[in-house]
Structure 1
Amino acid sequence: MVWTLNDYPESMKNLKEATREKAIDIANALINEEGYEEGRAIAIAIAQAKKWIDEDQSSTQHVVPHPRGWAVKAENSDKASNVFNTKKEALARGQELASTNNTLLVIHRQDGTIEEQQNYA
């Protein structure tokens, strides 16, 4: 089973969109790559997504180059929370997260150097 944002388990319906998206990604990986049973994968995915999103969004956000385009990444995280085709899309998401969570947004150039910082605190 592969879930999408349009077709996901009923238990994910009340999650915030970003949390649901992360839970779907985690659940799909647990089932398809790790061989977990569906019910267990869903429960783990929801718990991990809530934890990951909360931790990710409360720290400084970075818009950084990514092999698949541009990413939004929390300062304390090894993984991108979102990946986009364009820097413009990543910047919009980074600004949304930084504004909602009253944090700093650091925007990087293609070479990884810092281009600009926007303070939403």
Structure 2
Amino acid sequence: MIWTLDNFPAAINHLTPLTRKKALAIANALVAQGFQEKLALSIASSHAKQWYREATVQERHRFDQASTQAQSNPHPPQSSRRGADIAVKPDPAGWAVVSPSGDRATELYPRKTDAVERAKTIASAEQGSVAIYKRNGALQQVVKPR
């Protein structure tokens, strides 16, 4: 199940709206990776609280303005375009695997390594390459999976 700001479990109802939004983004990414929903919610709640305590006001504002749709869609659309580049870019919710059109995330992961592995899987199937970016937005490297 994909949780949204309008449809989420009571277990995170006690969180402030911004912390809840962060927890939902993390929980959805964890469930997409195969975590059980209950465990994903527990981990996400804890990480979201920590994120809120440590985030700057600017980081909180950027995350608050981020598209909820992009954060809650862990299933990538099937691309018919061969050789399309997939990108791994920083996102307020973690690391985004970005579709060939590049205008929105198809999947979000809390860890960069997980996003890179998923992007390599997609690029391999599409005979494309993966552009990996640093946290500051600069291009780190481009890899061609086998």
Instruction: Find the counterpart in structure 2 of residue 75 from structure 1.
Output: 100
What is the rounded CA distance, in whole Å, between the counterparts of 2:134 and 2:88 in structure 1? 9
Q: 1:83 to 1:58 in 2, by over 3 A?
A: farther
Instruction: Find the counterpart in structure 2 of residue 66 from structure 1.
Output: 91
Determine whether 1:100 maps to 2:125. Answer: yes
Identify unmatched segments of 5+ residues in structure 2: 3-31, 33-74
The residue matched to 2:136 in structure 1 has which SS? coil
Identity %: 21
Instruction: Find the counterpart in structure 1 of residue 111 from structure 2.
Output: 86
Q: Considering only aligned residues, what root-mean-square deviation do their CA atoms show, in Å? A: 2.7
Identify unmatched segments of 5+ residues in structure 1: 6-20, 22-48
Q: 1:80 to 1:111 in 2, by over 3 A?
A: same
Q: CA deviation at 1:77?
A: 3.2
TM-score normalised by L of structure 2: 0.45
Map 1:44-63 to 2 at 5 A: 52-54=77-79, 59-63=84-88
Q: CA deviation at 1:58?
A: 5.8
Instruction: Give structure 1 regions of 4+ aligned residues with deviation exceeding 3 angstroms.
Output: 55-58
Aligned AA (2:78)? I
Deviates more, 1:54-63 or 1:67-76: 54-63
What is the count of residue pairs matched by the alignment? 75
Q: Deviations over 1:77-113 (max 9, x none)?
A: 3110100001011011011011111001100000111
Deviates more, 1:64-73 or 1:76-85: 76-85
Higher share in strand: 1
The residue matched to 1:54 in structure 2 has which SS? coil
TM-score normalised by L of structure 1: 0.53
